[in-house]
C-alpha cells in the first residue's frame, strides 16, 4: 500500500471532532477506497486545554494553525475554524503557498475569497476542495462539478440552510410563531445564539454564490445575491400558504443567461407536489436543471458532525486518489464575469400579504393599487385579527405576471396609513 | 489546449444519437470543464443504411464495433449496443486489451461480467466507467463511489426502473389495471414490445447488484438478487394501499452485514411521508444510508436520450481529466465475496392480499393461519367483488414481525381451495 495521506486539522469543534472520529472509525475502508491510508497527524485549535469529545493524545499539537501546511508531516490541511477572513484565510493562503492541498467547510471564506484561493491553488497545482461548504453531507459540489459536467446548467436552486428549514417546518407542524420556534431552536442547539447569519439568509447566499459559479462557469458574485431572510414570516402566512396548497421554504435560486447572473435567496411558496415541499427539518436539497440531464435532485443532511465530516473526508479521498482538478470546474481565468441580472421582467406568480387597519375602504385601496399596477389577482383572503392587536391580514396570490408589476403595486401603497407594516412579497416556485 | 479525447461510438440508437447531439451542442463548455475537447471520431452500428436522427457525415464509419478500440483514431470506446454478451462484451474485452478506456450504459453486461472487465481494466490501467448503467442521468455511481466514499454504507435502496414506476404511478393516478396501463405504456414507447425485462424486475436487479458492489465493496452477485416484478399488482392493491396511507413502488434494496449480502427487488408499500413516495412517472431515485453522512437521496430521470447521454459524457469528462480509479471503488481483488443473506429473521411489516371465494368461513381460515404462524394483524379489510368474477379481496397489514412468520402463514394456506390465486405479499418500507 502507498504512503498515507497525512492531514493537519485546524479547528476541533463539532465538525473537527467528527473528522477525527470518522477517519478513525472507517480507517480500513477509507484506505481501500483511497488506495492509501488517510491519517490525521497534527491538530490545532485556539485553546489547547479545552475539554474535547475525542482523545487528542495520538496527534501532534501545533499552536499555530496558519503554518500547519508548512510542516513536513502534513500533506493536506483541513480548515474547520470558519470566518471569511482572519486565521482561516491566512491558513488557506499559507497552505497553498507551501504547495500543500487545502480542504475546507468554510462557505463564507469561499464565497468571499474563493477565486483568489482557486487561482493560487491552480498556479501551485494543488487541490482546493470545499464539498462540505455547501449542503453539508450531500455531495452536490461533486454532483455539479463532475456528475452533471456534460450539461449546460439552466437553473440551480434549493434549500441551503438547515436552521431556516427546521424553523419553517416546525412552524408548519406546530402552528407556532417565528420568534417562539427560533427560541426553541436555539435552546436545542439547532440555531446559534446569534442566529442572524442563518435567519437573514446570509449563509444560504454564501452557498448559492458557490453553487452558481460551479454550475454556470461564472465568477463568484456573493454581493450580487438578492437576499431576504425568514424573519418577517408569521404563523398566519404558513397557515395561509397551506390553505392554498403550498409550504413556505427559504429557497436559494440562480440562473444564468445572456451574460447575466440571477441569484436570489428568499422564502418561496412551494407547491405540495414539488419535491422540495417534502424537505423537512434540517435537511437540505439542491435541484440542478441540465440541458440534457433534466432535473437532478440531491438531498440529505445539511449540517451536523457526521454529515459534514463525511463531505470533508470525501474530499480527502479524492486528493489521496490524485483527483485534483479546477476547484470551480473550469480554471479561474476562464470563469465568466457576469452582470447581476435585472429582475423586473421575470415572470411568475407571487404571494402578497398585508397587515392592515380594520376599517372600511382598506381592501379597496389595496385592490386599486393592484389594478393600477396591472397585477392580476388569482385569489384573495381577508382574515380577522391575526394576533396583532387591531390589525387584519389580507393575503393574495397573483396570476402569472412580471415581478415589476408587483413591485409597482407595493410602491403605490408605500406610506399608506392603512398598512400597519410593509407588505410581504414572496415568489411562488414554479414547475 | 491539450489534445482532444477521441471517442469511438458503438451503437446509434436513441442514446447513441443523444451522445452525438450532446457532444456537439455542449462542445465548448465540455472542453472548458474537461480541459480538452471531447470529439466523436468513429461510429459503428449494425446497419449503415438505416435512417438516423443525427447527421453522421462528420464521422468515420467502421462496420466492426468490436475492434473500434484498436483504431489509432480512438482513445475511448462508448458502447451503447446492449446485451449481456455478444458484440458488446467482445467490444469491451477488445477495447481494454487494446489499452483503451471503455464507457458503457450496459447494466446487463456489467451485472454479469463487470468483475472480469474491471479486473482487466485495472491490469491494463485503463478506465472502465458505467455511470449510465444505473439510474440514467443521475450521477449515483459517482455519488456512492466518491461522494459517499468516506462512509460505511449500511443500506442502499431505491426506484431503479422507470418503466415500472411509470406504470405504477399511472395506475395510481387513473385507477386502471396493470395490463391496461402496460399496453398504453408500450404504445407511448415507455415500455418495450417485450416488456418482461422491466416488469419482471430483472432490469432493476441488474442495477441493484451494481450499486451493492460499489456501496459495500462486495463482489457483484446478480443471481443472488431475490427478484419479484410488478405483474401481479391489481388496481385494487393500489387503491387499498392508498386508503392505508401508502403508494406502491418497485424498490430495489441491498444491505450488507456479517459477511452476508441482502439484495431484493420487490414492490413495496411506501408511506406517503417517505421521499420515495413522491417519485412519479419515469423518475428514478436512490437512497444511500452512510454511517456518517446519514441518508442521502439522489433523484432524476432514469432513462431517455438526454439523461443517459449526460451520464455517458460525464464519464468521458472524468476520463479526459485523467480521473480513472477502480471501477468498483476498490480493486476487484479486494471486493469481498459475501453469502446471500438469510431473510427469515428480517423484521418488518407486510401487506398481504388474498383473492378468495365468496363464502362463509374463508376469513376464519385465513386469520387462523395468521394466528398459527404467529403473525399479528394490524388492520384487515374485506372488499366486495374486486372485478374478478366471484372472487373477493381480503387485504391486511401486519404488525412488525419476522418475515419467516408471514411466509409460514402463506405456507399454511397453500392448496386451500378458498383461495382463487396465490396470496400476494409485499413488504412495507420502514423509516
DSSP assignment of A348-383, as one string?
A: E-EEEEEEEESSTTHHHHHHHHHHHHTPPEEEEEEE
Q: Which residues contact B173 (CB under 8 A, 6 or more apart)?
A: none
Task: Write the CB contacts of A330 (distance below 8 Å, at least 6 apart in sequence).
Answer: A217, B32, B33
What is the spatial distance between Cα A230 and Cα A159, in angstroms, rounded to a whole number? 13
For the stretch B238-254, pLDDT in tens is 999 999 999 999 999 99
pLDDT given for residue B2 in this prediction = 85
Round to whole Å and give the CA distance between A235 and A163: 17
Q: Does A292 touch chain B (CB under 8 A)?
A: yes
Average pLDDT, chain B: 95
Phi, psi of A156 (to 5 degrees): -130, 135
- The pLDDT score that the predictor gives to residue A189 is 82
Which one, of A178, A310, A189, lies nearest residue A250 by Cα? Answer: A178
Are B285 and B159 spatial neighbours (Cβ–Cβ below 8 Å)? yes
Residue B63: Cβ-neighbour burial (10 angstroms; 0-12, 13-18, 19+) = exposed
Cell numbers placing B58 = 462528420
Residues 6+ apart with CB under 8 A from B233: B168, B171, B178, B248, B267, B424
Best residue in A149, A270, A302 to probe B by mutation, most B CBs within 10 Å?
Answer: A149
Average of per-residue pLDDT across A300-313? 96
Give the H or E element holding residue A31.
Answer: helix A27-34
Helix (H) or strand (E) holding A392: strand A391-398
Within 8 A by CB and 6+ apart from A368, the residues are none
Task: Give pLDDT, residue B100.
Answer: 98
C-alpha cell at B305: 436520450
pLDDT for B344 equals: 86
Assess whether pLDDT exceeds 90 at residue A390: no
> How many residues appear in chain A?
431
Give the nearest partner residue to B22 out of A33, A150, A318, using CB atoms: A150
Q: What cell does B325 get? A: 480509479
Q: What angle do CA B208, B213, B217 make, to 5 degrees?
A: 150
Which residues on chain B are in Cβ contact (under 8 Å) with A294?
137, 300-301, 304, 306-307
DSSP symbols for B388-402: STTEEEEEEEEPSEE
Residue B16 grid cell:
447513441
Q: Where are the alpha helices (DSSP H) in B217-275?
A: 235-244
> What DSSP string runs through A72-87?
TT-SEEEE----SSHH
CB contact under 8 A, B310 and A293: yes
Q: What tens digit of pLDDT does each residue of B256-272 get? A: 998 999 999 999 999 99
Give me the pLDDT at residue B20, please. 98
CB B309 within 8 Å of CB B24: no
Query: What's residue B386's pLDDT?
Result: 52
B293 with A137: Cβ contact below 8 A: yes
pLDDT(B211) > 70: yes
- Residue numbers in A near B290 (CB within 8 A): 137, 310
Q: What is the pLDDT of residue B60?
A: 98
Residue A147: the pLDDT is 97
State the pairing for strand pair B401-402/B347-348. Answer: antiparallel
Query: Does B152 contact A at CB distance below 8 Å?
Result: yes
Cα gap A126→B19, rounded to integer Å: 32
Picking from A359, A411, A306, the residue whose alpha carbon sits closest to that of residue A22 is A306
Is A273 in a helix, a strand, or coil? coil
> Regarding the domain delimited by B5-133, which CATH topology (the fold level of the hierarchy) does it fall under?
Rossmann fold (3.40.50)
Yes or no, beta carbons of B143 and A142 under 8 Å apart: yes
Tell me what percent of the residues of chain B surpass a pLDDT of 90: 92
Residue from A269, A209, A212 nearest A237 by CA: A269
> Cell 477521441 sits at which residue?
B6
Q: What are phi and psi of A106, to 5 degrees?
A: -90, 90
User: Which residues of B participate in catalysis according to the annotation?
Assistant: 207
Sort out which chain A residues have CB atoms less than 8 A from B131's CB and list them. Answer: 147
Mean pLDDT of A353-374: 94
- Residue A97, CA atoms < 13 Å, CB-side half-sphere: 10
Nearest by CB to A298, from B290, B298, B314: name it.
Answer: B298
Residue in chain A nearest B275 by alpha carbon: A278
- Indicate whether B388 pLDDT > 60: no
In this structure, the dihedral spanned by the alpha carbons of residues A101, A106, A109 and A115, taken in order and rounded to 10 degrees, is 50
Helix axes A107-124, A86-97, angle to 10 degrees: 10
| pLDDT band at residue B37 under the 50/70/90 scheme | very high
Domain regions of chain A by residue span: 5-133, 140-301, 347-428
Interchain contact B349–A (C-beta under 8 A)? no
Q: Does B30 touch chain A (CB under 8 A)?
A: yes
Select from A216, A425, A204 the least CA-distant residue to A328.
A216
B117: which 3 cell numbers? 472487465
Which residues, including other chains, have CB under 8 Å from residue B91's CB and lie 6 or more apart? B10, B65, B66, B68, B69, B77, B79, B81
pLDDT value at residue A382: 85
B18 touching A, CB under 8 A? yes
Q: Which residues from chain A sit within 8 angstroms of residue B25, using beta carbons?
A: 291-292
Q: Residue A6 has what pLDDT?
A: 98
Q: Which residues, listed in sequence order, are joined to residue A251 by a DSSP beta bridge?
A: A266
Contact B275, B431 (CB under 8 A): no
| Cβ contacts of A172 within 8 Å, gap of 6 or more | A238, A242, A247, A248
What is residue A138's predicted lDDT score, i.e. its pLDDT? 97
- The per-residue pLDDT for A1 is 61
HSE value, Cβ hemisphere, 13 Å, CA-based, for A345? 3
Per-residue model confidence (pLDDT) at position A30: 97
From chain A, pick out residues whose CB is under 8 angstroms from the CB of B334: 32
E strands, A162-222, where?
none
* Per-residue pLDDT at B357 exceeds 60: yes
pLDDT of amino acid A190: 83
C-alpha cell at A269: 411558496
Query: Collapsing DSSP states into helix, strand and coil, what is residue B45?
Result: coil
Q: Is-contact A43 A62, C-beta < 8 A?
A: yes
pLDDT category, B387, cuts 50, 70, 90? Answer: low
User: Rounded to an integer, what distance in angstroms lies between the CA atom of residue B137 and that of residue A131?
Assistant: 21
Q: ipTM surpassing 0.85, yes or no?
A: yes
> Which of B26, B142, B309 shows the shortest C-beta gap to A147?
B142
Report yes or no: B263 and B254 within 8 Å, Cβ to Cβ: yes
Q: By the CB < 8 Å criterion, does B293 face chain A?
A: yes
Comparing B144-158, B186-200, B222-236, the range with the smallest average pLDDT is B186-200
Chain B CB contacts of A330 below 8 Å: 32-33
**From the centroid of its chain, how far is CA A316?**
22
Question: Could you tell me the three cell numbers for A398?
Answer: 397573483
Name the CATH superfamily housing domain A140-301. Answer: Dihydrodipicolinate Reductase; domain 2 (3.30.360.10)
- At residue A173, φ and ψ (nearest 5 deg) are -75, -30
Tell me how far apart the alpha carbons of residues A101 and B24 are, in angstroms, rounded to a whole number.
Answer: 35
Q: Which residues of B touch A326 (CB under 8 A)?
A: 35
Contacts of B165 (CB under 8 A, 6+ apart): B159, B249, B250, B279, B280, B281, B282, B283, B284, B302
A151 contacts A275 by C-beta, under 8 angstroms:
no
Closest CA relative to residue A224, chosen from A340, A344, A84, A107: A340
* Cβ-Cβ contacts under 8 Å, B29 against chain A: 152, 217
Give pLDDT, residue B193: 84
pLDDT for res B38: 98
pLDDT tens column, A147-204:
999 999 999 999 999 999 999 999 999 999 999 999 999 998 888 888 999 999 999 9
How much is the average pLDDT of B218-230?
98
Spatial strand order in the sheet of A76-79: A60-61, A38-44, A5-10, A76-79, A101-104, A128-129
B162 contacts chain A (CB < 8 A): no
Nearest residue on chain B to A30, alpha-carbon basis:
B150
Of B148, B150, B314, the CB nearest to A146: B314
Asked if B34 reaches chain A (Cβ–Cβ under 8 Å), the answer is yes
Question: How big is the A-B interface in CB pairs under 8 Å?
Answer: 198
Exposed/middle/buried for residue B430 (C-beta within 10 Å: 0-12, 13-18, 19+): exposed
What is the least distance, in Å, from the CA of A76 to any CA of chain B? 16
Q: Is the CA virtual torsion B269, B271, B276, B281 positive or negative?
A: positive
Out of A143, A309, A314, the one facing B149 most closely (by C-beta) is A314
d(CA A362, CA A57) in angstroms, rounded, equals 70
Pairing label, strands B424-428, B350-357: antiparallel
From the list A44, A33, A53, the residue with the least C-alpha distance to A7 is A44
Candidates B33, B149, B296; nearest CB to A300: B296
Place of cell 408511506: B271
Min Cα distance B363 → chain A (Å) is: 39
CB contact under 8 A, A26 and B292: yes
Query: φ and ψ at A20, to 5 degrees?
Result: -60, -45
* pTM across the whole model: 0.96
Chain B (370-429) residues lying within 8 Å, Cβ to Cβ, of chain A: none
Average pLDDT of chain A? Answer: 95
Check if A318 contacts B (Cβ < 8 Å). yes
Determine the distance in angstroms separating the CA of A289 from the nearest CA of chain B, rounded to an integer.
10
Span A74-103, average pLDDT: 97
pLDDT of residue A389: 63
Cα A125 to Cα A198: distance, rounded to the nearest angstrom: 34
Per-residue pLDDT band at A425 (split at 50, 70, 90): very high
What's the rounded mean pLDDT across residues B332-354?
A: 95
Could you name the CATH architecture of B347-428? 2-Layer Sandwich (3.30)
Which residues are CB-neighbours of B340 under 8 A, at least 6 positions away? Answer: B221, B224, B260, B261, B262, B263
**Residue B383 pLDDT level (bands cut at 50, 70, 90):** confident
Grid coordinates of B133: 448503467
Give yes or no for B26 touching A (CB within 8 A): yes
A192 versus A276: the higher-pLDDT residue is: A276
Q: How confident is the model at residue A387 (pLDDT cuts 50, 70, 90)?
A: low
pLDDT band at A386 (very low <50, low <70, confident <90, very high): low
What positions of A carry a catalytic annotation? Answer: 207
Specify burial of residue A125 (Cβ count, 10 A radius: 0-12, 13-18, 19+): exposed
Instruction: Give me the half-sphere count of Cα atoms (radius 13 Å) on the Cβ side of residue B118.
Output: 25
Q: Which helix (H) or strand (E) holds A264?
A: strand A260-271
**Length, in residues, of chain B:** 431
Contact A77, A59 (CB under 8 A): no
Amino acid at each position: 500500500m502507498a504512503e498515507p495521506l497525512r492531514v493537519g486539522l485546524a479547528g476541533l469543534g463539532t465538525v473537527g471532532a467528527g473528522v477525527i472520529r470518522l477517519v478513525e472509525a472507517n480507517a480500513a475502508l477509507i484506505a481501500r477506497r483511497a488506495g492509501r491510508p488517510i491519517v490525521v497527524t497534527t491538530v490545532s485549535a485556539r485553546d489547547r486545554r479545552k475539554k474535547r469529545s475525542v482523545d487528542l493524545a495520538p496527534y501532534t499539537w501545533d499552536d499555530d494553525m496558519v503554518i500547519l501546511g508548512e510542516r513536513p508531516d502534513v500533506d493536506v490541511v483541513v480548515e474547520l475554524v470558519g470566518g471569511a477572513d482572519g486565521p482561516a484565510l491566512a491558513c488557506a493562503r499559507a497552505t497553498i503557498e507551501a504547495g500543500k492541498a487545502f480542504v475546507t467547510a468554510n462557505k463564507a471564506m469561499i464565497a468571499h475569497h474563493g477565486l483568489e484561493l482557486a487561482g493560487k491553488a491552480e498556479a501551485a497545482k494543488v487541490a482546493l476542495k470545499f464539498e462540505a461548504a455547501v449542503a453539508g453531507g450531500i455531495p452536490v459540489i461533486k454532483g455539479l462539478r463532475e456528475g452533471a459536467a456534460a450539461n449546460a446548467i439552466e437553473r440551480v436552486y434549493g434549500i441551503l440552510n438547515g436552521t431556516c428549514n427546521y424553523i419553517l417546518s416546525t412552524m408548519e407542524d406546530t402552528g407556532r410563531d417565528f420568534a417562539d420556534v427560533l427560541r426553541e431552536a436555539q435552546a436545542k442547539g439547532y440555531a446559534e445564539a446569534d442566529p442572524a447569519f442563518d435567519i437573514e439568509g446570509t449563509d444560504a447566499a454564501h452557498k448559492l454564490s458557490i453553487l452558481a459559479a460551479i454550475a454556470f462557469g461564472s465568477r463568484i458574485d456573493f454581493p450580487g445575491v438578492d437576499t431576504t431572510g425568514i424573519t418577517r414570516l408569521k404563523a398566519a402566512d404558513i397557515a395561509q400558504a397551506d390553505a392554498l396548497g403550498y409550504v413556505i421554504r427559504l429557497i436559494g435560486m440562480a440562473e444564468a443567461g445572456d451574460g447575466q447572473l440571477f441569484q436570489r435567496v428568499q422564502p418561496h411558496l412551494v407547491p405540495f407536489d414539488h419535491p422540495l415541499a417534502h424537505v423537512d427539518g434540517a435537511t437540505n436539497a439542491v435541484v440542478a436543471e441540465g440541458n440534457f440531464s433534466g432535473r437532478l435532485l440531491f438531498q440529505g443532511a445539511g449540517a451536523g458532525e457526521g454529515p459534514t465530516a463525511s463531505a470533508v473526508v470525501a474530499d480527502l479521498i479524492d486528493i489521496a486518489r490524485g483527483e485534483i482538478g479546477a476547484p470551480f470546474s473550469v480554471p479561474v481565468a476562464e470563469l465568466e464575469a457576469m452582470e447581476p441580472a435585472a429582475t423586473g421582467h421575470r415572470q411568475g406568480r407571487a404571494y402578497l400579504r398585508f397587515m392592515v387597519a380594520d376599517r372600511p375602504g382598506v381592501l379597496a385601496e389595496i385592490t386599486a393599487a393592484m389594478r393600477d399596477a396591472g397585477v392580476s389577482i388569482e385569489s384573495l383572503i381577508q382574515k380577522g385579527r391575526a394576533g396583532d392587536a387591531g390589525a387584519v391580514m389580507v393575503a393574495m396570490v397573483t396570476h402569472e405576471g412580471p415581478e415589476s408589476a408587483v413591485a409597482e403595486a407595493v410602491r403605490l401603497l408605500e406610506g399608506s396609513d392603512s398598512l400597519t407594516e410593509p407588505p410581504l412579497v414572496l415568489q411562488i416556485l414554479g414547475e
